Amino acid sequence: MADLHFCPNPECQADQRDKEIPDEHKHLFGGDGWFYRTIGVYAYDHTLFYQCPDCGGAWHRFPLGHYLYHKAAEYMRAHNLQDFTPKTSEV
């Protein structure tokens, strides 16, 4: 979920990848070898959800039904953030 390559906002679709992680450091980061520009919004002692640095669109980190999903949804509503969580997300 964190590793979306493109913003899920259909109006934006900005590439979230930044620089490629140098080969000699890839083992330190896991993932797919890229640094990401995606913003992790931190609240309630967790990275609660993600946000695109270009359009401000948000998407969930936690699956529907998780208590932190509901916290994230509340936070998004309170801050007027639009939820672009992909519908077919595998979690």
Q: Closer to Zn ion at the Cβ: 26 or 56?
A: 56
CA atoms of 16 and 4, how far apart (whole Å)? 7
Reading the block at residue 10, the tokens are 């259909």
Instruction: Find the part of the chain contacting Zn ion (CB under 5 A) among 4-12, 26-34, 39-47, 64-72.
Output: 4-12
Question: Residue 7 CB, nearest distance to Zn ion (Å)?
Answer: 3
Residue 66 half-sphere exposure toward CB, CA atoms < 13 A: 13
Handedness of CA 77, 78, 84, 88 (dihedral sign): negative
Q: Which of 4, 7, 72, 73 binds Zn ion (CB under 5 A)?
A: 7
Instruction: Find the part of the chain contacting Zn ion (CB under 5 A) among 9-17, 33-41, 58-66, 68-76.
Output: 9-17
